[in-house]
Structure 1
Amino acid sequence: MSEIIKHGALHADDWEVLRLAEGQDPATVGVPPGRRIVPLPVWQAQRDRLGARLDAGVLAVWLAGDDDPALLADDLARVALIAVDFPKFADGRGYSIATLLRTRLGYGGELRAIGNVLRDQFFFYLRCGFDAIQPQPGKYSTEQLQAALASLKDFSEPYQGAVDRDPLFRRVSREARP
């Protein structure tokens, strides 16, 4: 069981991410029992077969950087957890996907960053609307994750606007000068 950061605390987590091997067909790949996060193409190909598991809260969907989050628009009320994959450090498309899910599509469920999530980016994941961060298993020790949690409080008042709050100039009231 891996550890994740969720709502500002460490939690044990039993969700497992299903990744397809090269050449595997999304329509025929087996989804093992248990709590699974499946790629969008698997959900699209097996929607009728997997719908009951989604409704039972034991199935979730993950999006790759080149997936259109609007493809989940009809299912957003049913999906309790959506994960967004960060395949490498330099790929920031997941930030945009998270922002679109929260703002334009109004997704209110758990939004989780998975894949190559790095400690120095944890703060920015939260600003874009993620409420859970799942580092790769073995990437960080419990002590390192505790230190990362503490570092999330380094910035008490971010200036820029984001999913989590308006820009500072809109949050501070100022009296007009004579």
Structure 2
Amino acid sequence: MPKLIKNGQVIDDAAQILVLDETQAPEALTLPEGPLFVPLAVWQAHKGQISGRASVGVWLDSHENVDEIADDLEGITAIALNFPKFTDGRAYSAAALLRSRYGFKGEIRAIGDVLRDQFFFMQRCGFDAIQPKAGKYSDAQLEEALASLKDFSTPYQAAIDQPEPLFRRAQRAA
């Protein structure tokens, strides 16, 4: 069972991330039971029947635009954003847009090739769940990564998690 960092702890997660191959048509797909993240194409084909189901979220690949689900955000409880490789940072922008422009309050999960060095920055951009590839990190390494999220007590720059920069928040003597 995959592990993820969420709500300040390392937890097991039963949610399946559905991946289509090129022979599968999204419209003809029968969705499995249980917690699930479906690709954007499957969401678009089946949103009438799965919108509002707490156990079903949508996942976007790095080349897919969050604008495509903007009108559906009220019926979506969780969104996973894929990092196909650690050097592809488009999901950072997608998470920030979901939180700032669209006011999305549900879970935003980082999936794919996510590295420990990026976890802190993912949180700053609006991710609240981080799911590395299964087997990439041991339980002990995930616990260390969780602890490292507190390495910086006060970030200087403004971001989704702290909209004002430090110089605006700091109280200085006159």
TM range, smaller chain: over 0.9
Unaligned runs of at least 5 residues, structure 2:
none
| Displacement over 4 Å in runs of 4+ | none
1:107-142 deviation line (CA, Å, top 9, x unaligned): 001110011111110001000000000111111110
Q: Which amino acid in 2 is paired with 1:108? A: K
Q: Whole-Å Cα distance in 1 between the matches of residues 10 and 169 of structure 2?
A: 30
Is the counterpart of residue 133 in structure 1 residue 108 in structure 2? Answer: no
Q: CA deviation at 1:175?
A: 4.1
- The match for 2:78 is 81
Give the letter aligned to residue 30 of structure 1: T
Residue number in structure 2 paired with 1:37? 37
Q: Which amino acid aligns with 2:74?
A: A
| Equivalent residue, structure 1, for 2:149 | 152
Residues 1-178 of structure 1 correspond to what in structure 2 (within 5 A)? 1-51=1-51, 55-165=52-162, 166-176=164-174
CA distance in 2, matches of 1:98, 1:10: 21
- For 2:91 and 2:159, how far apart are their aligned partners in 1? 15
- SS of 1:77 mapped into structure 2: helix
CA contact (8 A) 1:81 1:112 kept: yes
Alignment identity in percent?
A: 54
Tell me how large the CA RMSD over aligned residues is.
Answer: 1.3
